[in-house]
Structure 1
Amino acid sequence: MSPRGGSKSSTVSAVRRADEDSDRYRPPAAGAGILRRIWDWVHDGPLVHSYYALAASAILLFAFGCMMVLSSSAVESISADRSAFYYFTRQAFLGLFGVVAMFTLSLVPSRVYRRFAPVAFWVASAGVLSVILFGYEVNGNQNWINLGGFTFQPSEAAKLAVAIMLGWYFGRREGTIRGIKGFLWPSLAIVGLPLAGVAWGGDAGTAIIFGLIYAAALYFAGAPRLLFVVAGLGAAALGALAVVMAPHRMERVTGWITGDCDVAGSCWQAQQGMAALATGGWWGVGLGQSRSKYNYVPEAHNDYIFAIIGEELGLIGTVFILVLFAVMAVAMARVLLRSTSTFERVTTGGILAWLIGQAFVNIGMVTGVLPVIGVPLPFISYGGTSLIMCLAAVGVVMSLTRVTRDSSGGPRSRDDGGPNPGHDDLPGNVHPLRSREERI
């Protein structure tokens, strides 16, 4: 071979070696470096930061919500011959109880949640099904129970119980589930039992949230993608059936799609909510200065409290709320990415889908992105049961940050209660956390 050919061969070999080296690390393209840094920041950040971020964001949302409940409900309270602080004091008292529950649950070991998950699930499901016999109707939905003058909504407790129960189930069955049928049954019964009571009571909004929790659990448990296509088509069919069977829902959805509906009827709430947001502009009309809360916006202190926030505090106030929910979402996402247990991953994913998904549905409803569905804004809308359970759910995830932090050293439990296996024996899709250098 000629020297020239040899030189060419050497050059080709050098290029191949360079290509092989590039498989291990390639400089990110323009713009990709920012995404990589964001990913590393979310994935590699200290989990103790997530613990405090979850606590701070939940408490700030609760405090902000109490302030807005006072502002939006004072007029209604006075018109009903009550104290202007009637709704505020109830919300603040139950919220403080929820904060105590949040920090208490943050100290509970993960193995305790796994051990009592079935008990909590059956108790919560029994509470939801009891509304069929003992429930009473509020705003067209029979999902409330009055016990000794204290009213509560069992479906709110069932959301947390279902998220933990799904984590328990998929954790115990990890590595043994095969195919779509294996993922759906019997896990579908876990969400289907409380969902039956919610559907019977006519609460379509809560039914949607249960669907989000179940979808997140399936995704983080490793269900095949085809399952989500089939489930999406099935959910769309059931949703269309629910809309067709209820004239008021049909009118809301058609009005949302076409923009042509009775502004004095089914579209009154949506139109007034949009008008309140438009009135607020950038800076708002001032705290306590809303005009829409004078019985123009129905449920001003509940489902449509975001419209009052936009009117009184403007775009700045609404963005502040979105930032707090974003902080909570990132903190929970970090727990998801760092978890080495299916129970932790599925439970956190279900709670994340519940809290952030419900916030998205509520804000989308108020801003016109979605039709009027009727779900409260987590931590902010008036409602003691919802507030307590949202804070409790954050406490559960906070406890999982402690478990995940401890997983790097020292013994820990598997999802089935046995000793923690070594990295070489980790089953299924459970992988040890790799360092940033190893991932590169």
Structure 2
Amino acid sequence: MTALQDRPGVQQAARGSARGVRRFWRAVVEGPLIHSYYALAGSVLLLTAIGIMMVLSASAVESISAERSAYSYFLKQAVYAGLGVALMFALSFVPTAWYRRGATWLLGLAVALLGLVFTGLGSTVNGNRNWIVVGGQSFQPSEAAKLALCVWLAAVLARQGSAVRDWRRALWPSAAGFGVPVLMVALGQDMGTVLVFVLIYAAALFFAGAPLRLFGIAAAGAAVLGALAVATAPHRVDRITGWLFGECGATDACWQAQQGLNALASGGWWGVGLGQSRLKYNYVPEAHNDYIFSIIGEELGLLGTVLILALFALMALAMARVILRARDPFVRLATAGVVTWLVGQAFINIGMVTGVLPVIGVPLPFISYGGSSLMMSLAAVGVVMSFTRLPRRIPVPSGSPRPRTPSKERP
């Protein structure tokens, strides 16, 4: 082994690899921040375009069987995508100070919308009361609450500064602002969204510098509450037991997970072809929604699934550059919350489809059918894109004298 390491070729290859890693790290940390703007826009637009295409492929059969147009889901998703992209680019021009000043108003509006769920405007979908319907159009307030929580937590924790190292200061008032929307979503029985809220709060506390022992205590408490939530709901018990033991029938809770895995397996390396899925014919429930990743695997194969993962990785890398380069704690914390939300939700969804996690019921960002999720995800990216437009240095006004460095007096 030593003789192999002493060879000039091996040493040269090792030095070249080290230089490559250093160049990559320098480009990530020191390169122009505007590159993250284009990386975010490109990756998210590609994910959205793929999502619209796959919604059409996965939903056409279900629409026809329900005696609707084969393009009904596709057209709705396309409209929401257009509105979301316009909103994303509009928010990318909003000054950072506006987000900081309006954080409390945003959270208050989100809580008010969540309250409407429990009025006559509320609607229940698949056992979750998490929607409001106005004029025949439905909206999911919890999606807007995710973005509002990211911005509000960033404003509060950034204002506290180093005081968050004391666990009491870290939890107040952040725990109150986090607890109100989470409690309202939990009352609507949407535990998948509650999990995403918890990830956002944990990321905000971690990047703010909260003591690590706080996370250990919080994890233990979350485990107890999660066990109680599962034990008190028979359908969640069925999902957990089905995930653990994997014995399913046509009416069992893990039927959906099993069919999703079958779709992924039948795709192979290259897939069966776009639009040629067989398991979307009423075998995979929610094929255009929570389980759309399985249809991507079946129709586009491993290549298609890797492309989705690569685009999410590019988006995460672009946001990581913002976190590394940001001098403003608010920018760093808000970006950390958004990337944790989007990437964490994608991880939960893909883990659910691949059998790594039990069926939780969260959509795949930018790809699954759902106008509320798509628009708010695009809006969140627009907020982070606005952070990449910050100038690298504060310009000196043309009419003011420039500061001079005092020169040493000659003896």
User: What's the TM-score, normalizing by structure 2?
Assistant: 0.90
**Counterpart Cα distance in 2 of 1:335 and 1:188:** 26
Letter in 1 for 2:224: A
In structure 2, the CA distance between the partners of 1:40 and 1:235, relative to structure 1 (3 Å rule), is farther
The alignment partner of 2:117 has SS state of helix
Other-structure match for 2:124 = 137
Query: Which one of the candidate residues 31, 41, 47 is aligned to 1:45?
Result: 31
Other-structure match for 2:346 = 359
Does the 8 A contact of 2:164 with 2:209 survive in 1?
A: no
The alignment partner of 1:325 has SS state of helix
Is 2:289 the counterpart of 1:298?
A: no
Does the 8 A contact of 1:57 with 1:325 survive in 2?
A: yes
Does the 8 A contact of 1:61 with 1:321 survive in 2?
A: yes
Query: Which one of the candidate residues 155, 163, 184 is aligned to 1:197?
Result: 184
Other-structure match for 1:163 = 150
Does the 8 A contact of 2:164 with 2:208 survive in 1?
A: no
The alignment partner of 2:289 has SS state of coil
Is 2:196 the counterpart of 1:209?
A: yes
Deviation of 1:29 (Å):
9.5
In structure 2, the CA distance between the partners of 1:90 and 1:316, relative to structure 1 (3 Å rule), is same
Is 2:35 the counterpart of 1:66?
A: no
**Counterpart Cα distance in 1 of 2:113 and 2:192:** 18
Is 2:136 the counterpart of 1:149?
A: yes
Does the 8 A contact of 2:50 with 2:367 survive in 1?
A: yes
Does the 8 A contact of 2:185 with 2:193 survive in 1?
A: yes
Deviation of 1:101 (Å):
0.3
Query: Which one of the candidate residues 62, 72, 92 is aligned to 1:106?
Result: 92
> Which residues in structure 2 correspond to 1:366-381 (within 5 Å)?
366-381=353-368
Describe the superposition over 1:28-70 as per-residue Cα deviations: whole angstroms up to 9, x where unpaired. 9997766544433321222111000001111111111000000
In structure 2, the CA distance between the partners of 1:244 and 1:35, relative to structure 1 (3 Å rule), is farther
Does the 8 A contact of 2:243 with 2:358 survive in 1?
A: yes
Query: Which one of the candidate residues 228, 241, 247 is aligned to 2:215?
Result: 228
Is 2:163 the counterpart of 1:176?
A: yes
Query: Which one of the candidate residues 359, 368, 371 is aligned to 1:384?
Result: 371
Other-structure match for 2:299 = 312
Does the 8 A contact of 1:272 with 1:297 survive in 2?
A: yes
Letter in 2 for 1:53: A
User: What's the TM-score, normalizing by structure 1?
Assistant: 0.84
Other-structure match for 1:415 = none
**Higher mean C-alpha displacement, 129-138 vs 252-261:** 252-261
The alignment partner of 1:368 has SS state of coil
**Counterpart Cα distance in 2 of 1:388 and 1:371:** 27
**Counterpart Cα distance in 2 of 1:393 and 1:138:** 25
The alignment partner of 2:129 has SS state of strand
Query: Which one of the candidate residues 216, 219, 225 is aligned to 2:206?
Result: 219
Percent identity, aligned pairs only, is 61
Letter in 2 for 1:182: R
Question: Structure 2, unaligned stretches of length 5 or more?
Answer: 1-13, 397-411
The alignment partner of 1:286 has SS state of coil
**Counterpart Cα distance in 1 of 2:127 and 2:26:** 47
**Counterpart Cα distance in 1 of 2:219 and 2:27:** 32
The alignment partner of 2:130 has SS state of strand
The alignment partner of 1:223 has SS state of coil
Is 2:45 the counterpart of 1:82?
A: no
Is 2:104 the counterpart of 1:118?
A: yes
**Higher mean C-alpha displacement, 69-78 vs 261-270:** 261-270
Does the 8 A contact of 2:331 with 2:387 survive in 1?
A: yes
Question: Structure 1, unaligned stretches of length 5 or more?
Answer: 1-27, 412-440
Does the 8 A contact of 1:117 with 1:164 survive in 2?
A: yes
The alignment partner of 1:174 has SS state of helix
Other-structure match for 2:395 = 410
